[in-house]
Amino acid sequence: MQLRQLLLFLVLFFCMNQVMAATLKGRITDVKGDPLPFASLYIKGTSSGTTSNVEGYYQFELSKGSHVMICQYVGFQKLQFEIVISDGVQIKNITLQTNEKALKEVVVKNGENLALAVIKKTIKKRDPITTSKSTLLKLMLILKEILNWMKFRKT
């Protein structure tokens, strides 16, 4: 009897899930019509989203209703739009505009990498005795926990 109830519950759960969800799909391209692979598409204010595939196609399961979507891709302007999702499959092709901002000038100077200098300085300041003491202390604490666990297992 319980197996029947469980099976009925699962069937109803999946049916309700299908009733409450719809599919949004389409293609993300640039203004020339070239696909934008791995572009991000997500619901604003959430972590729920998807990415386009190598050919720019995406598919996203959404609940019915109104959603504010954000589409973005490196080197392109972020696009925000509202879409109303109803039953079935909805197709929404997205075209992103290139980002016209550019660096005025880049100057490359011959010399030492500043980040490398900072890393070298940090390594020099590092105290090997303190580092080894803290490692030894951590090992001792781990050993203590293991011994306590072994005592507990004996009782």
Q: What is the pLDDT of residues 36-88, one digit of tens each?
A: 999 999 999 998 899 999 999 999 999 889 999 999 999 999 999 999 988 88
Print the domain residue range for 142.
Answer: 127-155
Q: How confident is the model at residue 24 (pLDDT cuts 50, 70, 90)?
A: very high
CATH number for the domain spanning 54: value is 2.60.40.1120
In this prediction, residue 120 carries a pLDDT of 77
In this prediction, residue 87 carries a pLDDT of 84
**What is the pTM for the complete model shown?**
0.56
In this prediction, residue 21 carries a pLDDT of 76
Q: What is the pLDDT of residues 137-155, one digit of tens each?
A: 777 788 888 777 777 666 5
How many alpha carbons fall within 13 Å on the CB side of residue 89?
6
Do residue 140 and residue 64 come from a single domain?
Answer: no
In this prediction, residue 6 carries a pLDDT of 56
In this prediction, residue 17 carries a pLDDT of 46
Residues 50 and 69: beta-carbon distance below 8 Å: no
Do residue 83 and residue 147 come from a single domain?
Answer: no
Query: β-pairing, 89-91 with 21-30?
Result: parallel
Q: What is the DSSP letter of 26?
A: E
Angstrom distance (rounded) from CA 4 to CA 10 = 10
With CA atoms as reference, report the closest residue to 74 among 91, 52, 107: 52
The token duo for 112 is 């030492």
Domain membership of residue 106 (yes or no) is: no
Q: What is the pLDDT of residues 81-128, one digit of tens each?
A: 999 988 889 999 999 999 877 667 877 777 767 777 777 777 777 666
Residues across the chain: 155
Neighbour count for residue 144 (Cβ, 10 Å): 10
Look at the chain and report how many structural domains it folds into.
2
Q: Please compute the mean of the pLDDT values over residues 20-24 and round it to a whole number.
A: 81
Residue type, 85: I
Angstrom distance (rounded) from CA 57 to CA 62 = 16
Domain membership of residue 113 (yes or no) is: no
Do residue 82 and residue 145 come from a single domain?
Answer: no
Statement: residue 16 has pLDDT above 50: no
Residue 25, SS3 per DSSP = strand
Phi, psi of 144 (to 5 degrees): -60, -45
The token duo for 3 is 């197996």
Do residue 136 and residue 83 come from a single domain?
Answer: no
Angstrom distance (rounded) from CA 60 to CA 94 = 14
Final residue in a domain of this structure, among 73, 96, 119: 96
Q: Please compute the mean of the pLDDT values over residues 10-36 and round it to a whole number.
A: 76
